[in-house]
Amino acid sequence: MSRRRTLGPKKKLALLLSAATVAGGGAFAMATTSNATPPAATTRSAADSTVCQGLATALGNNQKFIEGQRAAPDAQSGARIANREAVIAQIQRQQEASGCTVGESAQDSQAAQPQQPAPSQPAAGGQGGQGGQASGEQVCNGSTVTLSGEGGAPAASSNRFPAGTKLKVTNLDNDKSTTVEVTSVSGSCVLLNDAAFEQVREAGKFLIRRAVIEKVG
């Protein structure tokens, strides 16, 4: 008959200590891994993204407008500045949501914009521009519309539609509308330049909260 080998008390104790050491080391490794600090979120600059570039452009143009109002104030400058500051706050929220560097602006962006052919002028008798002449596919549902701070003939900028696209923007609060051509990139579905925004704005307001945007060409 074979005889079963048994371990002495000293050998049993040594084996138990070894197992405990291995288990403890594994637990320590797991704890170290679980407590590791996650990598910091990265943000994109205007140089890395056309969306960020458009937002930085819009932010810079609005900041430039505020500087102009402060340099040569009039009776309405305070209200204009307050409205533009609200626009800037919205742009910064869009920068954060898009993963862009919050607060990054391009103060000289308006001067850097390439010259574009002027869109056709509003037809005589039309309310607020060319709004009554065309209708098309509704886009950008739920989007608000503000202004880019750019000068020139009525035009728009967009992060969704290429240059040459024609968009009809209707302000439901006053039933005014305008049809303009996209001429540059921005950080929103549609931003109107100063001339286009004047065609559909409510007095003293720099944001259209109830807007219908249609792609008409």
* pLDDT tens digits along 108-148: 544 334 334 333 333 333 344 444 445 678 998 888 898 88
Nearest by Cα to 147 from 59, 215, 67, 74: 59
What pLDDT band is residue 18 in, cutting at 50, 70 and 90?
A: low
Q: What CATH code is carried by the domain that includes residue 137?
A: 2.40.40.10
Lowest mean pLDDT among 33-47, 63-77, 130-144, 199-213: 33-47
Q: Is residue 200 part of a domain?
A: yes
Reported as a single tens digit per residue, the pLDDT across 143-189 is: 889 888 888 999 999 989 999 999 999 999 999 999 999 998 887 88
Pull the structure tokens for residue 216: 């008409």
Cα–Cα distance for residue pair 62/56, rounded to 1 Å: 10
Number of domains, the chain: 1
Residue 104 pLDDT > 90: no
Q: Is residue 210 part of a domain?
A: yes
Q: Is residue 142 part of a domain?
A: yes
Pull the structure tokens for residue 185: 């990139």
Residue 100 pLDDT > 80: yes
Across the strands, what pairs with 138? 214
Q: Is residue 71 part of a domain?
A: yes
Q: Is residue 37 part of a domain?
A: no
What 3-state class would DSSP assign to 190? coil
Cα–Cα distance for residue pair 176/184, rounded to 1 Å: 23
Sign of CA dihedral 36, 98, 100, 208: negative
Cα–Cα distance for residue pair 187/94, rounded to 1 Å: 8
End-to-end Cα separation, the chain, in angstroms: 98
Residue 33 pLDDT > 70: no
- Which pTM was predicted? 0.48
* Domain coverage including residue 179: 50-215
| pLDDT score for 113 | 40
Q: Is residue 172 part of a domain?
A: yes
Reported as a single tens digit per residue, the pLDDT across 57-89 is: 778 877 878 888 888 888 877 877 887 888 888
Across the strands, what pairs with 15? none
Cα–Cα distance for residue pair 152/36, rounded to 1 Å: 54
Cα–Cα distance for residue pair 184/171, rounded to 1 Å: 22
Q: Is residue 98 part of a domain?
A: yes
**DSSP 8-state symbol, 145:** E
Q: Is residue 39 part of a domain?
A: no
Residue 6 pLDDT > 70: no
